[in-house]
Each structure stands twice: as structure tokens, then as C-alpha cells.
Chain A
Amino acid sequence: MSSPDGTAPPDRPADGTPAPQAEPQIEDLVVGEPAGPAPHFEGLAAAHADDQPTQAAAAATATGPKLELGPVGHLGDRLFAGLARGSGGLVVAIVAFVGVFLLALAIPALADNQSSFLFSRVWEPGGEEPRFGIAALFYTTVVSSIIAMVIAVPIAVGVALFTTYYAPKRLAAPVAHAIDLLAAVPSIIYGLWGILFFAPILRPVIDGVSGALGWLPVFEKPTGDNVGVVFTASVVLAIMILPVVTAISREIFAQTPIAHREGALALGATRWEMIRISVLPYGRSGVVSASMLGLGRALGETVAVLIILSVPNGNDPWNSSIFAGGETFASKIANNAAEFDSPEKTGAYIAAGLVLFVVTFLVNSAARLIVARSGPGGKRPRRNRSAGGAAAKEGAVA
């Protein structure tokens, strides 16, 4: 036992944290030991290991983790608190730095830009007269993500209800894990599978919808047999965000107070009526925020979209139809990494990245705001906890 208990209490700065008066200089303190025997608190004199009653020591090893306590170290406390605060500060600094830095690099490029950044569809960032605008990127990004959300949310709600209120108890957990596994598949594999195997079976759907509704520009079908279209990307994105939306919805549906559910059943409601009048109203805001988080995911997804979407070119110019190719912010940036050779060009891509950052941020903030405002069930005091749980779940599914 080599505790440095020789260091006397007088060394301790007087201003420090409120220390107990007769600070016990104890070794081998035991958490969870029943009714601390007197010797532990006899003060400085008891600082030697020899003074410890042997039964206490034996009990110590048996009952719980052993703590080796030196003298109360204010230095240690200050150092550790400093480290923890420093890490917190570092996180703030990193985010601020990312924002400021991207802005600083984007501004010169934007200043040189000869066309409207927000409303132009041209993308020629290099040269004497750089011209670039994000209108087309913004359109494709938002449209593909919203379609993905519209497809994913009803299925996710169905799956969440299945795992919480329909599946047999023994099946529920494995089923939930199986859906979570979808989140473990890397996005490049979604991309490959999407374009090679999934896109061909979407072909009839595309033909059918564009045949019936093709007079609408959004559903117009360009000539050719291109399957690398926005719609295909959207369906694959829907599969990719399904686990996130499911996990959060599941969490919130499971929290529906049992009194609400049993009340409904006691009134003679069928299972579906019970869900409609107790579970769904309770989980509504949670589902909305889960959808927004899913939307945020879809907006920033890069590689799957990059692989699936065919890039508009001379023969196949930009088209507002969801059955045409296109580029999102993320796929544009990733596709043109080789072009980052001059600061002006890089600046243009950074400006696009910044817009993506802001859009994603707004969507995520909206999701969190909805959770914070209403929480599951409306006015429950537990709402903060639930919001945290949902956020953690989102992290875990990531």
C-alpha cells in the first residue's frame, strides 16, 4: 500500500473545493460496504493499511470494486475538470471552425461568380469568368430526399408498429435488430446493388407512371433506357433511411402509457382502433421528427447517389423530371474531386457544400425543435428524456 498519505492536509490550498473538515485519509475505501466501520473514519491516524480490520478488507474484495484513495487531490480535480471542459470547448471550436472556414473559402469564389449562385443551373466554376449556380443541384437534392422520405415513413411506421404491438414478444427483438442491420450496410454497397439489381425492376414502375402522368413535367420520361434516374436514387435512399426512422418511431410508440392503451381496449376498441386513438396521437411528434432526421440523412447521402444517378450531359440535358438523371450537392462534389486544383474552383464546390450544410442543419434543427416543443404525447414532463433517447437512438443506428 503505497499511498502518499504523508502529504499533509495543510498543503492543500484553502480556496479549493469545499473539503470535509476532518478529511479521512483512507486507503481501500469500499463502495457498497455495509455501514462503514468506525476505523475508516478515525481520521488521519488511521491512514495505515495495518489499521484496517481484516474482515473489512475481506468484505471489501467480496462486495464491490475497490477504490484506492490518496489524499483528496484538488490538482487532479482541476486538471480533470479542465480536460473535460476543454473537450467540450473543442467541440464548439471545431464546429465554429468548420463553419467559418468554409465560409471564408466560399466568399471569394462567390464574389467572382458571374451568374446567380442561387438561381442559375450552370456549373462552370473555373476560368476567367466563373459561372456557377446551385438551382439544379438544390432541386435534385431536395426532390430526391423528399420522395425518399415519403416512401420510407409509412413503411417505417408500419415496421415500428409491427415490432411494438403486433409481433410476438419473442420475435420482436430479433426483428428490430434485423431492420437495424440495414443501417450497417455501407452506402457504396447500396449504390452498387441499387443500380445493378434494383434499378431494372423499377423500370416498369417508371414506364407505368410516366405513361399515365407523363404530361406533367415532373413525371415526363426522357428518351432512352436510362435507369440511373432521380426516382431510383430516391427509392434506394428510402431503404437507407428506413432504419433510422423505424428505430425512433419504435422507441416512441413503445412509450405510449399503458393506461391509454388499456383504456382503449377496455372500451372495446380493436387492436387497430387502440393504435389509432392511443399510440399514433402519442407518437405523432416523434414520427415527424424521425422523418425529418431521415430527410437530413437523405440530403447528405453521397456515394449511393453518386453511383446511381447518371450525370446530365450534352445528349441528355438537365430535366426537371424525376425520371431523368441529375446531380445532388453531395454527388456533384464527390464526382468532381479531381477539379479541386485551383482555389476558385474549390471555392465553388465549398459554397455548394456550405448550402448543403445549412439545409441539413435546418432540417435537423426542425426535427429537434419538434421533439423539444411537444415531446411524445404532448405535455409530458418526461419529454426531455425522450428527446435525448431519440437522439441517442439516432446515433446508435448511425
Chain B
Amino acid sequence: MSVLAANKPAYDGQTLDLSGKSGARAFKNTLATVLIVLAFAVALIPLLWILWTVISKGYSLLFDANWWSQSQRGVTVRREGGGAYHAVMGTLIMGLITAAIAVPIAILGAIYLVEYGKGTKAARAVSFMVDILTGVPSIVAALFVYAVWITVFGFNRVGFAVSLSLVLLMLPVVLRSTEEMLKLVPDELREASYALGVPKWKTILKVVVPTAFGGIVTGVMLGLARVMGETAPLLILVGYSKNINLNPFDGFMGALPTMINQDRTELALEPAADRVWAAALTLILLVLALNLLARLVARFSAIKSK
């Protein structure tokens, strides 16, 4: 019996047998190592497999100049040709409108939580609501906008309605990440600014926000990446158009997720399948580019803490 066991260590109920490196202990250790490395390998398989599938099936069309400059107007599932210009533009337009609405509210909301409301009941209420919003499934957000925009106001299904529902999804992501970044800004900077007689709002705009700027940009890009890949709101709130429509307030609009969805039932036909995978690859590249850019920004602008 080991000394430790006699002393009854307080490892909440677990006793640890440390009687020499017995075969059983060494075996358990090796087994754990194997299992953990295996878990990692298992996690990597789907990632590599998905990337391989999409790249190998979708890359060829991406080198075609038409892919980036033409729409699918007049192209049927049995015919080759056409491009994804309409869908790429639709995804970008809806994403940017979403960002234009969500980002100011999110940043100001985060400023309120960190700079003005800290510790107050009102701030706790806001924070709680942000938590709720974080958990809202995209389909519920879409359903809500459908109920307001179409059932109540009687408007048509248009791109702007999609943006409105995406705002609900993007807002909490950007708000939370901005809040975390603002919290990291050292109080010394604020105090130094106040000591120089700078008013609070200018301190926030010219000292606090610039210090946290990189982190805020990262949050915005990750939020944008999240909403651009969303499909559910597109299915409910706007029809898919094969034509180029750059007006978010009128008519159906193409988008990459709905372009994939449109032809996914016709995958037996080669031209349709090619387009589906090429659209999928385009979407992944777009989202991935935003993600990587966000991480780069984060790396080069991290707040230096002592």
C-alpha cells in the first residue's frame, strides 16, 4: 500500500494507485494516448473528405471565365454553360446589407455593455437577450421575418427580407466578439484619456475602439462568414432566380446556397452536377477566405497585454 493511499488524498473520491509504473498503468496510459490520437484522426476525416469531394468535383468550372461573369439565364439542367455570377453577387449583396445593418447595432450594443451599462440590471437584461438571440435557429429567424414582412405587411419575397433575418443571426456573433475585445482594452488607456480631459465618447471612439479594432473586424468577418453560408432563410424568404438581379428590393435573387439547392435533385445529369459542386466550392472558398482573413487580422492586431 502506498503512502498516498494511506493519507487519503482528496481527489474527490478517486484514489490513485501510484505503486510503481506497473504494467496496467503504463497500458492505460498508452491506451488513452492511442484513443486520443484516434479521436483526432476521426475528426479530421470528414473535413478532408468533404474538402476533397467538393474540390475534385467542382474545380474544373472555376477556371472557366464564364463562371465568374455569366448567369444561368436560359441554361437548363441538361446543358452545360452559364456561370455563377448572379449567385455570387446575390450572396455578396445580401451579406453586405446584413452587415450594414447588424454591425453598427452590434458594436454600439457592445459599447453599451462594456462602457456604459457595466454591472447594471439593464445591461444584464441586454446580455441575456443576446444569449437568447445567439441560440435562435436560422429557420426561426426566417419564419419570424416571413411573418412580419410577408404575412403582416404583405410585401413580396425579396433579398432584403433575407438580409433582415440574417441580421438576427449576425448581431449576437458580432456583439459578443466585440464585447470580449472591448473588455480586453486595458483600463489604463481609458484612465489616461480621461486624465487628459477627453470626454467619454471621444475616449471610446478614439482610444478604446481603435485599440480593439482588429478584434472587432475579426468578429465582423466571422459573423459575415456565418450568414453567407446560411440556406434556410433563402429557401423561405426569396425565390431562386437564374437571372442577374442586383436589386434586393425587387424580385427573386440568386445565391450560392440556393443555386446548390436548385440542382441538387438533378445530380444524375452531368452538367447539373458539375454546377452544383462548382457552386459548393465557390461558397466554401468565399466563407473560407473570410475566415482566414479574420484570423489573419486577429493575429496581427492582438491587443498587447502586460
Contact = CB atoms under 8 A, between A and B. Distances in A.
Main secondary structure of the interface of B (DSSP, over half): helix
A85 B291 contact: no
A286 to B, nearest CB: 17
Contacts of B177: 392, 395-396
A360 interface: yes
Interface stretch (B11-19, B62-70, B243-251): B11-19
Interface stretch (B78-86, B92-100, B143-151): B143-151
Interface in B235-289: 235-236, 257, 260-261, 264, 267, 276, 280, 283-284, 287-288
A49 interface: no
Interface string B182-199: 010000010011001111
B287 to A, nearest CB: 5
Interface residues of A, number: 117
B259 to A, nearest CB: 10
Nearest to B46: A239
Contact of B147 (A105, A267, A361, A395): A105
Interface residues of B, number: 115
A202 interface: no
Contact of B54 (A87, A182, A189): A189
A275 B16 CA distance: 12
Contact of A67 (B40, B168, B198): B198
Interface in A259-286: 267-273, 275-277, 281
B39 A162 contact: yes
A307 B262 CA distance: 12
B32 interface: yes
Given A95-B129, A272-B32, A361-B132, A87 B50 contact: no
B44 interface: yes
Nearest to B143: A353
Contact of A101 (B14, B132, B148, B189): B148
Main secondary structure of the interface of A (DSSP, over half): helix
Contacts of B146: 337, 340, 346
Interface of B: 4, 11-12, 14, 16, 18, 21, 25-26, 28-29, 31-33, 35-40, 42-44, 46-47, 49-50, 53-54, 104-106, 108-109, 111-113, 115-117, 122-123, 125-126, 129-141, 143-144, 146-148, 150-151, 168, 171-173, 175-177, 179-180, 183, 189, 192-193, 196-202, 204-207, 210, 218-219, 222-223, 225-226, 228-232, 235-236, 257, 260-261, 264, 267, 276, 280, 283-284, 287-288, 291, 295
